Amino acid sequence: EPYLLAAPVDLLDITACLWTTDDLNNLHLLHSWVTQWSGPVSLAMITQTRPRSTMHHALLQRLGALHGLPGFSLHLVHVMNDQHHPSTYLNLARLFATTSTVMLFPADISNVLPARFHNTLIAQISLPVRKPLLISETATSAFTIPGLTPVILPRHYQLWCNEKAFLASRTSEWDDCLWHLWLEEFGLEHANLTVTFATEDPIIGADAATRTRNRLSATYRAELCDLAMKRLWPNAPQMSKSAKRRVQWVKHFCRQV
């Protein structure tokens, strides 16, 4: 149910794209988060209620309390079980954003941004952005980025976060998404702000699940490296110096996989 709630926004602003579930506690947290951010928001809300059911009707009534929040849009995503797909939800929130620049916010909404964070960003960067910007002062490589660090990018940027079918978590999916962005851009530029969030969610069988996730992640990254090299290499004999430097950069970067 896209645009279940919607409000007008300045198209040259930054929309925060995020997701949460329809738990009652999250509705309270959401109001605080949106108010603290103070800019446009595109939220994918995940629910197991069946459309047109009694529970669905009750949820719509509760969501009415969020009506009128400035710049706030809400998109209700109906799912059949409690296995979440964080990248899918972030991609949907980004898809339904209406500004030309978005901030992907992968953390849980219990992590509130600092006061005036939106205004500080607006003052610091030129809009609309042309390439991704990592919100970090400390990351020196793709392997030192703090967990769940947000990123700013054009809404129509060519890369979307990879959507995994199983064993997904906020942290692991976002790590792979940032890693892919870093590879695509030959390193990410920074917006010089730092925010720190709690990485989530211990699960039953966590050790085995983590090992499996790590193997899948390593395979995924190796495949991306192969594709990157094939994309750069076809015209090797006619390569410019800058193209050769990019090939060397990718080789060095991908040795760390």
Token pair in block for residue 19: 């997701």
Count the neighbouring beta carbons within 10 Å of the beta carbon of residue 12.
11
Whether 240 is covered by a domain: the verdict is yes
Q: What is the CA radius of gyration of the chain?
A: 19
165 plus 210 within the same structural domain: no
Q: Give CA–CA dist 105/102, Å, rounded.
A: 9
Domain-ending residue, one of 201, 218, 234: 201
Instruction: HSE, CB side, 13 Å, CA atoms: give it for residue 5.
Output: 23
CATH code where residue 27 lies: 3.90.550.10
Q: How does DSSP classify residue 65?
A: G
Residues 56-100 have pLDDT tens digits of: 999 999 999 999 899 999 999 999 988 899 999 999 999 999 999
Whether 89 is covered by a domain: the verdict is yes
In this structure, what is the dihedral angle of CA atoms 12, 16, 22, 27, given to the nearest 10 degrees?
A: -90
Name which of 52-56, 59-63, 196-200 the model is least confident about. 196-200
Q: How confident is the model at residue 122 (pLDDT cuts 50, 70, 90)?
A: very high
Q: Give CA–CA dist 19/92, Å, rounded.
A: 9
107 plus 64 within the same structural domain: yes
Token pair in block for residue 156: 């129509």
151 plus 233 within the same structural domain: no
pLDDT at 204: 46
121 plus 177 within the same structural domain: yes
Q: Give CA–CA dist 168/73, Å, rounded.
A: 25
67 plus 40 within the same structural domain: yes
148 plus 211 within the same structural domain: no
Residue owning tokens 């809404």: 155
Residue 237 burial (C-beta neighbours within 10 Å; 0-12, 13-18, 19+): exposed
Whether 9 is covered by a domain: the verdict is no
Name which of 24-33, 70-79, 100-109, 166-175 the model is least confident about. 166-175
- What does the angle CA 46 – CA 49 – CA 52 come to, to the nearest 5 degrees? 120
Supply the angle between the helices 241-254 and 206-232 in degrees, to the nearest 10: 160
Domain hosting 211: range is 205-257
Residue 182's closest CA among 231, 221, 234?
221
pTM of the model: 0.91
Helix (H/G/I), strand (E/B), else coil: 149: coil
Whether 228 is covered by a domain: the verdict is yes
pLDDT at 211: 83
Number of domains in the chain: 2
What share of the chain has pLDDT > 70, as a percent?
A: 95
Domain-ending residue, one of 181, 201, 221: 201
Across the range 223-247, mean pLDDT stands at 83
Instruction: HSE, CB side, 13 Å, CA atoms: give it for residue 97.
Output: 35
Residue 139's closest CA among 92, 181, 93?
181
In sequence order, what are the residues at sequence separation of 6 or more whose Cβ sits closer than 8 angstroms to the Cβ of residue 14? Answer: 39, 40, 99, 101, 102, 103, 118, 121, 122, 127, 152
Q: How far is CA 90 from the centre of its chain?
A: 5
